[in-house]
Structure 1
Amino acid sequence: MIPGIAHRVLPAFHGRLKDELTFPLSWERAGTDDFAAWRAAARARAGEALLEPPGPGTTPFDPVTYDAYSARSYTGRTVEFALSRHARARGSLLVPHGAGPFPAVLLLHDHGAEFAIGREKTVRPRSRPERLARANAWVERYYDGRFIGDDLAARGYAVLAVDTLGWGDRGPLAHEDQQALAANLFQLGTSLAGLTAHEDMRAAAFLASLPEVDERRVGALGFSMGAYRAWQLSALSDGVRAAAAVCWMTGLKDMMVPGNNTLRGQSAYFMLHPGLHRHLDIPDVASLAAPKPALFHSGALDALFPAAGVAAAYAKLRTVWESQGAGDRLTTTVWPDTGHTFTRAMQHAVHAWLDTWLRAG
């Protein structure tokens, strides 16, 4: 019998392919004590995998403000700026009352197959009231009923949330069209994941450029796909000084198992960099952020990320941070009785962590 497709979408020889992945560029296999040289080489390889060539020169942000409102302790406004050399995008910007510059957090929204809203998953849509009911339902389901951006602004952080391509004002994308979008970008010489990564770096740079923001205290925070983007951003960008990731960390081999949601394709394309895992495992890429402060939270009951994969990834991260004498800058936590959600208790822990590494400088 000729082997074909096993477990519906995995090739029957998937085990052999996994065995061939030895991640030769990982820190543990680097064969050097020169961490800076390793990080430069690994980051360069990761950059190649993004398939997003740099544009000619630096595109001005050219920001425009469309509306503004005042809350009890902060001001909110909608800003539009050049997110890339290709496109402009709108974001929700919250700035605390008082004298700045303030510490700042770039909020990276989740996926969840909910495309009608993007940044509204993290910042209350005061300028788009027609989206409020949908946003309220979303934060009740995944964020314990709280808009995490509004909470951070009330705590003294400048906050920016921007729609990813396919969401909110840049969509909505139909779930079944994700693979077509990704395929068409591949045809055009780039990738959906690479484009998303570059746009996140650009959004962080825009946030840091604002006069109200202390560019030395800019962090990133995300849940689910937003968590992946948060640690990826810290790994690829020196401008982000700390990142908190909730419910997205594992090893590749532990994730690529029958029944895992990643095998369905679709949303995976926002986090798929062609050929990267021939060189680096998922926690290897995240380790490029070391020795910067990093927080990873996971839920023990999260069906998307099996416990063994989370534990192995955390151990790998720990080895890297401790090798640089920065073990105190890495927080890895598994929350018992918690699934794929960003609970209020987890939010309080993130607040305290951000206060330590960003607000306190």
Structure 2
Amino acid sequence: MSSNAGPTHDAKPPRPSAIAGYEDWPAYVQQHPRYQAHSAEAQELADALGVPDVPQPPEASVHWEETYDGVTTSQLSWQLGYGPRSTGWLIRPAGVPGPLPGVLALHCHSGNKFGGADRLVELPASHPLAANARPGYDGRALASEIARQGFVVLAHDTFAWGSRRFDLSVPPWRTGSALEARQAQWREDGVVPSEAEVYNAAAGFHEETVAKTAGLLGTSLAGMVAHDDLAALEVLAGLPDVDPDRLGSIGFSGGGGRSLALAVLSPRIKSYVVTCMMTTFQSLLPAHLDAHSWLLQTPGLWKLDEWPALTARSGADQLLVQYALGDELFPEDGMRAAHRMLGSLHNPGNGSPAAYIGSFWPGGHLFTAEMQQEALAFLSSSLGARDTQPLSPLSCQGPS
């Protein structure tokens, strides 16, 4: 007896995961309630971003530690409830007794998701990540510089960056098609891309898939990033040599947006810095909208408030915003409108001390050495740090 099953066809390869490395992400969001903020105003932002609750501070493990150039640097990691382990870098002044004020240093977007917080840290030449470039930071290791001024600093990889990046070794089909086109262009141009360049190209295309997944789950890219940042803040606040009542945050570009969101969501933040990440949403239309990623452009956020107005929802005592007049990502009129709005919100003009400081600098989308000096001086003054090493002398004409 014979059977005729008809003609056979080559089986299609299985469709790859669109969220490889994060298959447990949907269940995590579904099983955790919304983050409960400290005020009704902050809760509105938590709800708009869809920030999941951070159930308890994660337990950090120390993998590497070394003292050099006046600071002790430790490589930490912790496991959140979803995705790969988070890497964090803890930098503190060597031999200086605590408790010391703490700062969460928040890395930028920069289109570089292959790396994360390592771009903020100075590492000895023997470390595998020592040669990592620091585009946008004027060649300086921001987190290490802050620690030299008397702070305990934690810089961590957030959701989708560095140790927390998605696995795109077998990219989802839509991402893979776009990546093939980019690789064809590289071949035509005679370019041999590095592993990081290939990953960052794929991750740039994949960000839309991440944003779509987040939207389906009732959260957002910014909401998941804020979740990771809140968890890292709890790690920092729980360290024995950190004063939990003197905590601040700082960030450049996308890190500046993270700094603002964190200051609204957590009452632990007393002072914060936003560098090259301030304008009005109105000014982004129509020409500057495509200059920014999903990290800024959460659907519906503008309906809640203008970007600078969100700062009024924070309980922080002081805020420094640094603007670059030649910033190609923001129109000057939008930055100046944000500056006026922030002044009216935070500086009463009745003899009370100003809570907001805004400075305008020449140049493009960069966190220059001079701007970093201003930011470190602001954090030292507002959080009461004891300088342990003087800042490097620089020629600077000051903000314009």
Does TM, normalized by the shorter one, top 0.5?
Answer: yes
Q: 2:44: which partner in 1?
A: 45
Q: What do residues 290-345 of structure 1 show as CA deviations (whole Å, max 9, x unaligned)?
A: 5621000011100111111011111111111124965522110111x311001111
Tell me the amino acid that sits aligned with residue 140 of structure 2: R
Rounded Cα–Cα distance in structure 2 between residues aligned with 1:64 and 1:187: 33
| 2:310 pairs with one of 245, 267, 285 | 285
Rounded Cα–Cα distance in structure 2 between residues aligned with 1:219 and 1:291: 9
Q: CA deviation at 1:283?
A: 0.9
Rounded Cα–Cα distance in structure 2 between residues aligned with 1:60 and 1:218: 16
Rounded Cα–Cα distance in structure 2 between residues aligned with 1:351 and 1:300: 21
What is the TM-score when the length of structure 2 is the normalising length?
Answer: 0.73
Tell me the amino acid that sits aligned with residue 109 of structure 1: H
Unpaired stretches in structure 1, ≥5 consecutive residues:
1-38
Residue 306 in structure 1 maps to residue 331 in structure 2? yes
Say if 1:338 and 1:84 are closer, same or farther in 2 by CA, change over 3 A. farther
Say if 1:226 and 1:317 are closer, same or farther in 2 by CA, change over 3 A. same
Rounded Cα–Cα distance in structure 2 between residues aligned with 1:168 and 1:222: 17
| Secondary structure class of the residue paired with 1:219 | strand
Once structures 1 and 2 are overlaid, which stretch shifts more, 269-278 or 150-159?
Answer: 269-278
Say if 1:291 and 1:211 are closer, same or farther in 2 by CA, change over 3 A. closer
Rounded Cα–Cα distance in structure 2 between residues aligned with 1:131 and 1:254: 38
Any residues of structure 2 matched to 1:54-133 within 5 Å, and which? Answer: 54=53, 58-83=55-80, 88-97=85-94, 98-126=96-124, 129-133=127-131
Q: CA deviation at 1:165?
A: 2.1
Residue 200 in structure 1 maps to residue 225 in structure 2? no
| 2:238 pairs with one of 203, 209, 216 | 209
Q: CA deviation at 1:126?
A: 4.3
State, as a whole percentage, how many aligned pairs show the same letter: 30
Say if 1:250 and 1:84 are closer, same or farther in 2 by CA, change over 3 A. farther
Tell me the amino acid that sits aligned with residue 305 of structure 2: L
* CA-based RMSD: 2.3
Any residues of structure 2 matched to 1:311-330 within 5 Å, and which? Answer: 311-323=336-348, 327-330=353-356
Q: What do residues 70-107 of structure 1 show as CA deviations (whole Å, max 9, x unaligned)?
A: 11322111111244566641100112122111111111
Say if 1:84 and 1:228 are closer, same or farther in 2 by CA, change over 3 A. farther
Tell me the amino acid that sits aligned with residue 94 of structure 1: I
Say if 1:324 and 1:239 are closer, same or farther in 2 by CA, change over 3 A. farther
Tell me the amino acid that sits aligned with residue 263 of structure 1: D
Tell me the amino acid that sits aligned with residue 95 of structure 1: R
Rounded Cα–Cα distance in structure 2 between residues aligned with 1:40 and 1:274: 22
Say if 1:217 and 1:60 are closer, same or farther in 2 by CA, change over 3 A. closer
Q: CA deviation at 1:202?
A: 1.7
| Secondary structure class of the residue paired with 2:375 | helix
Q: CA deviation at 1:185?
A: 2.1
8 Å CA contact 1:52–1:194 kept in 2: the answer is yes
Say if 1:128 and 1:116 are closer, same or farther in 2 by CA, change over 3 A. farther
Aligned length: 312
Say if 1:339 and 1:175 are closer, same or farther in 2 by CA, change over 3 A. same
Rounded Cα–Cα distance in structure 2 between residues aligned with 1:312 and 1:298: 12
What is the TM-score when the length of structure 1 is the normalising length?
Answer: 0.80
| 2:296 pairs with one of 267, 271, 278 | 271
8 Å CA contact 2:57–2:231 kept in 1: the answer is no
8 Å CA contact 1:318–1:327 kept in 2: the answer is no
8 Å CA contact 2:117–2:156 kept in 1: the answer is yes
Any residues of structure 2 matched to 1:227-238 within 5 Å, and which? Answer: 227-238=256-267
Rounded Cα–Cα distance in structure 2 between residues aligned with 1:311 and 1:232: 21
Say if 1:86 and 1:351 are closer, same or farther in 2 by CA, change over 3 A. same
Say if 1:60 and 1:151 are closer, same or farther in 2 by CA, change over 3 A. closer
Tell me the amino acid that sits aligned with residue 216 of structure 2: Q
Once structures 1 and 2 are overlaid, which stretch shifts more, 337-346 or 119-128?
Answer: 119-128
Q: What do residues 270-306 of structure 1 show as CA deviations (whole Å, max 9, x unaligned)?
A: 2233322112111111222256210000111001111
Unpaired stretches in structure 2, ≥5 consecutive residues:
1-37, 166-198, 387-400
8 Å CA contact 1:45–1:276 kept in 2: the answer is no
| Secondary structure class of the residue paired with 1:297 | strand
| Secondary structure class of the residue paired with 1:271 | coil
8 Å CA contact 1:241–1:293 kept in 2: the answer is yes
8 Å CA contact 1:84–1:199 kept in 2: the answer is no
Residue 158 in structure 1 maps to residue 152 in structure 2? yes
Say if 1:291 and 1:324 are closer, same or farther in 2 by CA, change over 3 A. farther
Q: CA deviation at 1:236?
A: 1.7
Any residues of structure 2 matched to 1:19-38 within 5 Å, and which? Answer: none
Rounded Cα–Cα distance in structure 2 between residues aligned with 1:194 and 1:235: 13
| Secondary structure class of the residue paired with 1:155 | coil
Rounded Cα–Cα distance in structure 2 between residues aligned with 1:327 and 1:288: 18
| Secondary structure class of the residue paired with 2:72 | strand
8 Å CA contact 1:84–1:202 kept in 2: the answer is no
| 2:248 pairs with one of 210, 219, 240 | 219
